[in-house]
Amino acid sequence: MKTGLKPHKNSQHTIEIVDVTAKGFGVGYIDGFTIFVDGALPGDSLRAVIIKVKTRYGYGKILEILKPSPSRKRSDCVVSTGCGGCQFQHFEYSAQLALKTRVVFDALTRIGGVENPNVLDVIGMNSSVLDEQIPQEVTGPFRYRNKAVFPVVPTASAGGFAIGMYAPRSHRLIEITDCNIQHQAHVSVLKALKEHMHRHKITAYDEVAHSGLVRHVMIRTSWATGEVMVVVVINGDEFPAEMEFCDRLEVSTVVINSNKKKNNTILGNDFRVLRGTGSIRERIGHVEYQISAPSFFQVNPVQMKALYDAALRQAALTGTETVLDAHVGAGGVALYAAANAREVIGVDIVQPAIDDAHKNAAINGIENARFICGAAEEVIPAMLSSGETHTDIIFLDPPRKGCEKTLLDAIITAQIEKIVYISCDPATLARDVKLLVAGGYKVVEAQPVDMFPMTGKVECSVLLCRGDC
């Protein structure tokens, strides 16, 4: 029976968990009052202590699991306390996939206002999709990340610094020695960096005092070639014993990035290559990509191919179309689609990414692609209003924040017939879909893809059309 009384902080309760959020909170109720419990799963019966109470909801912490969810499994994570990198290593993978399909459906209906959207089952990273491109250590939905960025922070411990991940919703660093979702090559890089910093008494960056040297280490690994890139981000210009550090690492290329800004951005604008070319090569399906340090590239090559295949199926190109890619990165879906289009045009705000896109077109012998550096919300409206190019289809693949309204307005005004919207955030996707639907488009299909197993994140490709598709 609902009493209307809120539970108070530090009180203990038995809670039945009925749902779970994408951020990893189980959802339960105490006399009708909503409680979010970190790490709880649907079907759990548990004893929890209330740690925070707000006006309409509160947060609880598990004290004891009285009856576990049928979807609960033993986590193999080597980190005893949550590092924030993932939420669901204790959640059966099939249940994760069902959740992600529902997350996309709920976002399109609740936020997007789309009635009964056609959301297909999420494409999971199951053993059936693994092929010879994948390193042997990758098993199902683990060891899939080809990129990692680890902060390096000063500590009061004897070592003087730690490398790891920030705990959820905090700035508290959890030291990492291994990670089940990271490529195995990343583990040895972390070990080598720690040894080098200890040997030469290299300090970690203190963002409050703006002192210390090493801020982050970024690692990228190619599944196709086995190449590894290491980028050390420093608050300065020189990294002690640079060549010794390169010799310590068994990697393809080592880059020093200088970032002296008094903020929490990861990369600065200055890159200096110590060894190798400063790039690695990756292959997705029939296309080879050269990737430099600042270029955006998906973190899961297997699921990237699944995503691009889904996007091309939705686009249904016949070879006669002019295709615009509004967030092309290092070539992205534009190069993947080039063989099926008359012309592809890519736009991106990052100049090194555009440089990579030009190189990648040349590497693959693609002659019907051109690329423009600039903000999509500025370049594309000007392009469409000038009438210089008739665009038949546009691919949108924006950052997590979604598209700028000026870009969406320009697409609506130009009445581009078909949109394939690729998104890593169902909420901002649905927000933008609502504007496009109001502008005359209809949602034909949404195809979720599990780009980030063991996390609540989900990628999605949505087809929108003005007429019949």
Among residues 97, 17, 40, which one has the least CA distance to residue 457? Answer: 97
| The dihedral sign for the CA sequence 453, 182, 333, 383 | positive
Cα–Cα distance measured from residue 453 to residue 129, given in angstroms and rounded to the nearest whole number: 14
Cα–Cα distance measured from residue 155 to residue 174, given in angstroms and rounded to the nearest whole number: 11
SS (HEC) of the chain: CCCCCCCCCCCEEEEEEEEECCCCEEEEEECCEEEEEECCCCCCEEEEEEEEECCCEEEEEEEEEEECCCCECCCCCCCCCCCCCCCCCCECHHHHHHHHHHHHHHHHHHCCCCCCCCECCCECCCHHHCCCCCCCCCCCCCCCECEEEEEEEECCCCCCEEEEEECCCCCCEEECCCCCCECCHHHHHHHHHHHHHHHCCCCECECCCCECCEEEEEEEECCCCCCEEEEEEECCCCCCCHHHHHHHCCCCEEEEEECCCCCCCCCCCEEEEEECCCEEEEEECCEEEEEECCCCCCCCHHHHHHHHHHHHHHHCCCCCCEEEECCCCCCHHHHHHHHHCCEEEEEECCHHHHHHHHHHHHHCCCCCEEEEECCHHHHHHHHHHHCCCCCCEEEECCCCCCCCHHHHHHHHHHCCCEEEEEECCHHHHHHHHHHHHHCCCEEEEEEEECCCCCCCCCEEEEEEECCCC
* Catalytic member of 83, 403, 424, 465: 424
Determine the residue type at 392: D
Mean pLDDT of the chain: 92
Query: Is the per-residue pLDDT at 338 higher than 50?
Result: yes
Is 179 part of the annotated catalytic residue set?
A: no
Mean pLDDT over 388-406 rounds to 94
Mean pLDDT over 19-38 rounds to 94
The larger pLDDT score, comparing residue 4 to residue 176, is at 176
Mean pLDDT over 428-441 rounds to 98
Cα–Cα distance measured from residue 351 to residue 398, given in angstroms and rounded to the nearest whole number: 16
Q: Indicate the pLDDT class of residue 86, thresholds 50, 70 and 90.
A: confident
Query: Is the per-residue pLDDT at 189 higher than 70?
Result: yes
The model carries a pTM of 0.89
pLDDT of residue 169: 74
Rounded CA Rg of the chain: 24
Cα–Cα distance measured from residue 365 to residue 359, given in angstroms and rounded to the nearest whole number: 10
Torsion of CA 154, 160, 165, 169, to 10 degrees: -50
Mean pLDDT over 51-60 rounds to 95
Domains and CATH numbers, the chain: 12-67 (2.40.50.140), 94-129+300-465 (3.40.50.150), 147-282 (2.40.50.1070)
The larger pLDDT score, comparing residue 290 to residue 3, is at 290
Query: Is the per-residue pLDDT at 130 higher than 60?
Result: no
pLDDT of residue 3: 53
Query: Is the per-residue pLDDT at 136 higher than 70?
Result: no
pLDDT of residue 127: 47
